[in-house]
């Protein structure tokens, strides 16, 4: 199948552009499309503009997708490329996820210029992170550490470490790998110690539901295993997402034809947590994630999701 023109919408960050160009390359290879017929257009999202306060206070998920989705709905682009961990669980009317690319490393990377691991940090050391999930899990693992708000791209965070703003930080291994900067990783966090964000490491391609031609083009890129695992995790998140101030983590893995899922919710200070595990058929992925979310919601009680401290 050929296409006269394909316009891809993306954020303008180096990582977002790397992901968008990966989609472009895969589309060109899958369909024999001339690369010149594929254009990547960049958009500055609300999440990119807000730098003066934590994103959770500004609205949480959706801040990195709204402007791109508006352009997609308006027909300014044919498809949008997103980091799935930034996606709200409910898509705008008229839009669908048409494909997931093969998932990258799901784990978190510990980065420090002075210490080899989180265990090596001395009491009182400062860990910088803008992620509520990472902040809560750091406090759960090491309540003796200080946690500070810490935003910026890879180079910005490394510069802040050099300036002594923090002693360590965390980034997704997936992003560092895609940027060719895996050498910046000091240590990789085991998922048993730091459970990833829902859909971490997954790239999704969004299209208009009425645009069947583009949907067919994009469907050739879909990685079935990633789609099943992300569906499990997002169903879990959808059942729990009552507050953007509640740290939520979840990971589904497909092993020998069975989906293995682990989900967790934490209080922001890391002092309280609830987790659950499931395993089942890929056909039951969404129902399994939803059931796991129902269990944790019931166990935690409504007050758990009203946390604002």
pTM for the model stands at 0.91
Strand ranges for 115-235 from DSSP E: 126-128, 146-148, 168-172, 187-188, 203-208
The predicted-structure confidence for 231-271, as pLDDT tens digits, reads as follows 999 999 999 975 557 899 999 999 999 999 999 999 999 99
Query: Does domain 108-188 bear CATH number 2.40.340.10?
Result: no
What is the band of 1 on the pLDDT scale with cuts at 50, 70, 90?
A: very low
Percent of the chain with pLDDT over 90: 81
Percent of the chain with pLDDT over 70: 92
- Residue 48 pLDDT: 59
Indicate the DSSP class of residue 51: -
Res. 2: pLDDT tops 70: no
Q: How far apart are CA 72 and CA 83, in angstroms?
A: 16
- Residue 288 pLDDT: 98
Res. 57: pLDDT tops 60: no
The class that CATH gives domain 1-102+202-222 is alpha beta
- Residue 245 pLDDT: 72
The predicted-structure confidence for 105-157, as pLDDT tens digits, reads as follows 999 999 999 999 999 999 999 999 989 999 999 999 999 999 999 877 778 88
Catalytic sites, residue numbers: 86
Report CA Rg, the chain. 19
From-to residues of CATH 3.40.190.10 in the chain: 1-102+202-222, 108-188
48/159: higher pLDDT = 159
What is the band of 61 on the pLDDT scale with cuts at 50, 70, 90?
A: low
- Residue 267 pLDDT: 93
Res. 158: pLDDT tops 90: no
Exposed / middle / buried, residue 261 (Cβ in 10 Å: 0-12, 13-18, 19+)? buried
From-to residues of CATH 3.30.160.40 in the chain: 224-301
- Compute the mean pLDDT over every residue in the chain, rounded to the nearest whole number: 91
- Residue 309 pLDDT: 47
224-301: CATH topology is Double Stranded RNA Binding Domain (3.30.160)
Question: What contacts 285, CB < 8 A, 6 or more positions away?
Answer: 228, 229, 231, 232, 235, 252, 259
- Tally Cβ neighbours within 10 Å of residue 232: 32
């Amino acid at each position: 199948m050929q296409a006269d023109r394909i316009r891809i919408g993306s954020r303008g960050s180096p990582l977002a552009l790397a992901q968008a160009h990966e989609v472009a390359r895969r589309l060109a290879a899958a369909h024999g499309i001339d690369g010149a017929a594929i254009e990547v257009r960049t958009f500055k999202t609300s999440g990119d503009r807000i730098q003066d306060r934590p994103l959770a206070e500004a609205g949480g998920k959706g801040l990195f997708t709204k402007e791109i989705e508006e352009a997609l709905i308006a027909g300014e682009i044919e498809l949008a490329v997103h980091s799935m961990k930034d996606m709200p669980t409910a898509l705008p009317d008229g839009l669908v996820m048409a494909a997931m690319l093969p998932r990258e490393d799901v784990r978190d990377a510990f980065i420090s210029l002075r210490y080899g691991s989180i265990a090596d940090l001395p009491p009182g050391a400062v860990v910088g992170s803008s992620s509520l999930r990472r902040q809560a899990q750091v406090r759960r693992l090491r309540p003796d550490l200080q946690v500070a708000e810490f935003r910026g791209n890879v180079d910005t965070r490394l510069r802040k470490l050099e300036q002594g703003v923090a002693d360590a930080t965390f980034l997704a291994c997936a992003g560092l790998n895609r940027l060719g900067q895996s050498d910046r990783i000091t240590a990789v966090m085991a998922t048993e110690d730091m459970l990833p964000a829902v859909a971490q490491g997954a790239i999704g391609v969004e299209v208009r539901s009425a645009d069947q031609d583009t949907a067919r083009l994009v469907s050739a890129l879909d990685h079935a295993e990633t789609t099943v695992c992300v569906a499990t995790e997002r169903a879990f998140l959808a059942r729990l997402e009552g507050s953007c101030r509640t740290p939520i983590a979840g990971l589904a893995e497909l092993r020998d034809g069975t989906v293995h899922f682990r989900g967790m919710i934490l209080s922001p200070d890391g002092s309280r947590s609830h987790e659950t595990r499931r395993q089942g058929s890929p056909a039951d992925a969404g129902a399994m994630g939803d059931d796991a979310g129902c269990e944790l919601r019931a166990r935690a009680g409504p007050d758990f999701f009203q946390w604002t401290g």
